[in-house]
Homo-oligomer: A and B are copies of this chain.
Amino acid sequence: LGALLVVDTVASLAAVPLDVDRERVDVCFSGSQKAISAPPGMSPITVSPAAEEAFRKRKTKVQSWYFDLTTAMNYWGKDRLYHHTPPVSLIFALREAMRLVVEEGLETRWERHRVNQLALIAGLEAMGLKLLVEKPSDRLPTVTAVMIPSGVDDEKLRNQLLDEFNIEIAGGFGPIKGKIWRVGLMGYSSQKPNVLLFLAALEKCLIDQGFRVSSGAGVGGAVQGYTHAETAAAVSR
């Protein structure tokens, strides 16, 4: 075919199983500040030999110096030909973040993201909330899209979460603006305490807006979710 497979792993790298070579990904790009939990400002990228060959065979000039991989390749290559001044301090920070990824272990990390997501979902559903993505296998372990219940003010709720609990969740954009919340659990922030505190805080904010939740339902659902996951893990050992 000669087509190249380009995969966006901005919200998944270091959180979701991925084997770039085995899955024959030609270009895989991500962000430093998501599940890797390094400071923002960089995009890790891989380029397969096939993609590199395609770049080298280009006949037209790349339209933007800013993101010109053909000249950046000369920087990475033997010549070390100057393309731009790299963000040195961020590179050291990324290296340290990657060291922490290796220390935890990729598989442990994937499992951590999966378990926290399942507990979050168990809690949300126990509160009577619906998810945007219905099929569990289609859900991203790092971002959970929750339908905003009718009668609840999107921005008001997100501001209250931020002001009262220092928790920031994202709204939707484009056609689902105002219809969903996006709850991120990535890298460092994918933690049991964050899941439980978020559910408790969300309950408070929803009740303040008149949405009826049975007391403690979200936290209760998540705790059950964790217990299930731990039992399952113990059985599989």
- Name A residues whose Cβ lies closer than 8 Å to a Cβ of B: 31, 33, 39-41, 63-64, 66-67, 82, 85-90, 93, 173
Contacts and interface: CB of A to CB of B under 8 A. Distances in A.
Contacts of A85: 31, 33, 40
12 contacts: A31-B85, A39-B87, A39-B89, A40-B86, A40-B87, A63-B64, A64-B66, A64-B67, A66-B66, A66-B67, A87-B87, A89-B89
A199 to B, nearest CB: 26
A41 B87 contact: yes
A168 to B, nearest CB: 13
B89 A173 contact: no
Contacts of A87: 39-41, 87, 90
The 8 closest A-B pairs by CB, nearest first: A41-B87, A64-B64, A39-B89, A40-B85, A66-B67, A66-B66, A63-B63, A40-B87
Contacts of A39: 87-90
Nearest to A81: B173
Contacts of A64: 63-64, 66-67
Nearest to A67: B66
A40 B93 contact: no
Number of copies: 2
Given A39-B90, A64-B67, 17 more contacts: A31-B85, A33-B85, A39-B87, A39-B89, A40-B85, A40-B87, A41-B41, A41-B86, A63-B63, A63-B64, A66-B66, A82-B173, A87-B87, A87-B90, A89-B89, A89-B90, A90-B90
Contacts of A33: 85
Contact of A93 (B66, B67, B89): B89
Nearest to A87: B41
A43 to B, nearest CB: 10
Contacts of A31: 85
